[in-house]
Amino acid sequence: MSTWTASMFKVCDHPCPSLSHPAHHQPFFDRKSDHLLYHNRATEEPDAQGTANRRGAVQRLERRWLDCHQLRGSWIWSMRGDEAKRVCSGINLVQVPVARGKADLNLYRSAGAEVVAILASKGKCERASIDEVYLDLTDAAKEMLLQAPPDSPEGIFMEAAKSNILGLPADASEKEKNVRAWLCQSEADYQEKLLPCGAIIVAQLRVRVLEETQFTCSAGIAHNKMLAKLVSGMHKPAQQTVVPSSSVQDLLASLPVKKMKQLGGKLGSSLQDDLGVETIGDLLSFTEEKLQEQYGVNTG
């Protein structure tokens, strides 16, 4: 059984500082503020907008986000510029670089390449989109389990201890203690011991990404890509979620059918309309024969 992570870093639509000299700026993405930020690496002096460094830019844009919090209900990138200005008159909308009449994504791709280069140090990367990567951690997790398995709750470093483990007790006051204990479980079988190792490796990678690029990542860790993708966006920003095998059934039971890969379009709508299916749990109540009868052998 493999151990996969789906790591995501989000590109946002409304950068704050000027793009008038894009060659001198490096973008980075911060999910907490939902902005694409630019930092002039040539100097630590404040730029024309008063932004002295990356972290200062994050704080500055967080203040703007608080002023424009009403946009969060519909997300700024689903609005036209004139609509956004009606909702938040003080918003600063800046066009991304353009080449040959289209958005120039080279800055975004370069930023993604920085992240992938770090992730690839621990496994095989599979790019899913400009801001999403699958990483096969199986070999790295096996190596950790063989050479340095997590065996002391006190020895788990902080970022790993912040992991969200599906199925653990929901008591917030005991969360860190429960996570540390889960990461060091000794009674689990071999395959389940790979997940804690994967969670620790991903936490280490996310810290490296932040330290070396100041990009933040959210991640999902599971035994396959589908599950890793499903939970990668569950806890944001800059957090990771793990799916133990024992939690898969409960996760799918309440999952909206359109959240499942390949069921987000017409087929998902057909399931809802024809069969009254709203969740994957509802879908599992139908036999394979019934689904094949309704949608054909291959699709069913």
**Residues taking part in catalysis:** 132
Q: How far apart are CA 110 and CA 112, in angstroms?
A: 5
- DSSP line for the chain: ---EEEEE----S---S--SSGGGEEEEEETTTTEEEEEETT-SS--TTS--SHHHHHHHHHHHHHHTGGGGGT-GGGS-HHHHHHH-TT----PPPEETTEE--HHHHHHHHHHHHHHTTSSEEEEEETTEEEEE-HHHHHHHHHHS----GGGS-HHHHT-EETTS---GGGHHHHHHHHHT-SSS-HHHHHHHHHHHHHHHHHHHHHHHH----EEEEESSHHHHHHHHTTSTTT-EEE--GGGHHHHHHTSBGGGSTT-SSHHHHHHHHHH---BHHHHTTS-HHHHHHHH-TTT-
The strand pair at 4-8 and 218-222 is best described as antiparallel
Buried b (16+ CB within 10 A) or exposed e, 52-74: eebeebbebbeebbeebeebeee
